[in-house]
Structure formats: C-alpha cells, structure tokens
Chain A
Amino acid sequence: MNKLSPETEAPDAALLVAFANGDAGAAQLLAERLLPRTLAQAQRMLGDRAEAEDVAQEAMMRLWRIAGEWRQGEAQVSTWLYRVTANLCTDRLRRRKRSVPLDAVAEPLDGAPSVTARMHTEARAKALSDALAQLPPRQAEAVALRHLEGLSNAEIAAVMEIGVEAVESLTARGKRGLALILAGRREELGIEDDD
C-alpha cells in the first residue's frame, strides 16, 4: 500500500495556492491529477487527439495564470477546469461548424468489433464530435458533460452556472438534436439527390 504524503492528499485548491507561492512540486501534482481528465474531456468532445492536447494545454495554462488570484471556497478547481475545457472545446466546435459542411460530417461506421475496432471507435468519436459541432454551443456543452463526462445534472449546473432545470432542458434538446443529426444524414442526402 502506498503511503501518501500530505502534499499528495492536499485538496486541489491548496495545491494551487502552493503553486502561486512558487512551489514547483505543486505544479507537478496538479498536472498529474488534472491533466488526464482534462485531456479526456477534450478528446471526447473534439474526437481529435492533437486538438484535444492543444485544448488541455491551454486549459492548464489558464489554471496556472489564475492561481495567484484563486479564492478558496468559491469554486472547486475541478469544476472550474470542466468549465474552461468545455468552453475551449465549444469554441473549436463552433469554428469547425463554420468550416465543415454538414454533408462532410464523418460517417459513423457500422459493424461488430474487429481488428479495425480501434479505427471504428475513432471514426465514431469524430462523427459524434462533428455532430456536436452542429448543435448550439450550450446544448453541446451540456450534452457532453452529461453523456460523455458522466456528471450529474447538479454538477453540470455548477459547471455551467445555470439552474438544474435549465440543464435538463439543454441536455434533452441537445440529445434529440444529436440523434437527428446522426440518424438523418442519409435522409438529408436523399433529399438533396431529389433536387
């Protein structure tokens, strides 16, 4: 059994204060603790490893920058980081929406797991991300936090700084919209063929 030092058991906010006071070890602990989850969140929303790494680095950079002004007790560091990462991702999705036409959205692949299962998963992740880009940003953010990050409605409300009822509305509308975008693509292409 590993024996934990006081530093490794310290809350994120305490480590952030230590970082602001010049403790380099605090940065290492915070990065080990927060970077994997931040990267995973970005990768799930963006479906692209390189973009996710850029977002994760930028989100952590903003954390380092705000450390000196962090007021303990106002918000949890993890909640703050969820918000920053989600905002950075929705900014990228918005840019992607402008640059990627709807009929260029990655096609989800069908079929059972196989030797190409990993490629299929990546293609599906990209298809989901491209579909998220078609949603209004707040809906995309709420859906991603609920269904990709597994946060509760109360947690999402804290992250997005809105009420629980608003979260329920955003996730419900977002999920319906997402299902239609993913399922209706062939129909839409068929309509275009009729023109």
Chain B
Amino acid sequence: MTIEPDKREMDALDALFAEVAGPKAEPSADLMARVLADAARMQATAAARPQPRGGSGFLSPLWAALGGWAGAGGLAAVAAAGVWLGIAPPAALETVTDVFFGSSVTLQVFSADDVLGMGI
C-alpha cells in the first residue's frame, strides 16, 4: 500500500521550499579567487599544450594540402625523379625534345650522385 502525504504535510513542504529557495548566495572573495585561479591554471595548461604541426602562417593551408611531412617525402622522391629525367631523358623523349626545341637542354640543379648516390 502506498502511503500518501496529506495536504498539511504538502503545505509544510511548500513553505520549506519557499524559505530555503529565497536567500541568494553571494560567493566569498576567497571562493571567487579560487575559481579564477583555476581558470588561469587551465588557460596556462592549454597554452602550453603543443599545437598541431604546420603552424598558423599563410603557407600552412598549402603545407596541409601537400600532405605535411608525410607528403614531403613523396615530393622529394618525385623531385629527384624529375631531376633524373632531366639528366638522362629516355630515347623516346629525346626525339620529341629534338623535334620541338632542336636540342635537349638540361638544367642540372645538383648531381645525380648527390640525389641517388650513384655515378652516371
């Protein structure tokens, strides 16, 4: 059987709610200082946290688009291959460049020894 409170008991509870709900609580200066010290500590911790690599400069979107450091390895390989092709174009390409430019022009940025560690 469920026991139900009577009206007098419910009225007494409402009076108690009204009494307790009334007063406002003003934080003490000490509590406010503790809360602000927590805030300052959290801000300092967040500021000390390492930022994602790539920085926030204007080149960072380009850097990200190129794949960051992971992409840079691939780019280096492609660049080396490009230099290698420039140094020693395959026979078929040699013909094409001869047709259009008369002769093959090679711009050697650095030697193949430096790039691939092998002599030509």
Chain A interface residues (CB < 8 Å from chain B)? 19-20, 22, 24, 27-28, 30-32, 35-36, 39-40, 43-44, 47, 49, 52-53, 56-57, 60-61, 64-65, 67-68, 108, 121, 124-125, 127-128, 147-150, 175-176, 178-180, 182-184
Cα separation A64 to B26 with both chains bound (whole Å): 21
* Interchain CB contact under 8 A, A56 and B31: yes
* Interchain CB contact under 8 A, A182 and B9: yes
Residues of A within 8 A of B4 (CB): 176
Residues of A within 8 A of B59 (CB): none
* Interchain CB contact under 8 A, B12 and A183: yes
Identify whether the interface residues of A are mostly helix, strand, loop, or mixed: helix
* Interchain CB contact under 8 A, B26 and A179: no
Q: Would you give the 0/1 interface string for B1-43, flagging 1 where the beta carbon is closer than 8 Å to chain A?
A: 0011100011011101101110111111001101110111011
CB distance from B24 to the nearest CB of A (A): 6
Indicate which residue in A31, A43, A147 contacts B36 across the interface (CB closer than 8 Å): A31
**Total number of residue pairs linking A and B with CB closer than 8 Å:** 107
Interface residues of B in 31-74 (CB under 8 A from A): 31-32, 34-36, 38-40, 42-43, 46-47
Residues of B within 8 A of A184 (CB): 3
Known A22-B43, A68-B46: A27·B36 in contact at CB below 8 Å? yes
CB distance from B91 to the nearest CB of A (A): 60
* Interchain CB contact under 8 A, A36 and B25: yes
Known A65-B42, A179-B12, A180-B9: A150·B21 in contact at CB below 8 Å? yes
Known A22-B47, A180-B5: A35·B38 in contact at CB below 8 Å? no
Cα separation A127 to B17 with both chains bound (whole Å): 11
* Interchain CB contact under 8 A, B19 and A182: no
Cα separation A178 to B9 with both chains bound (whole Å): 10
CB distance from A103 to the nearest CB of B (A): 18
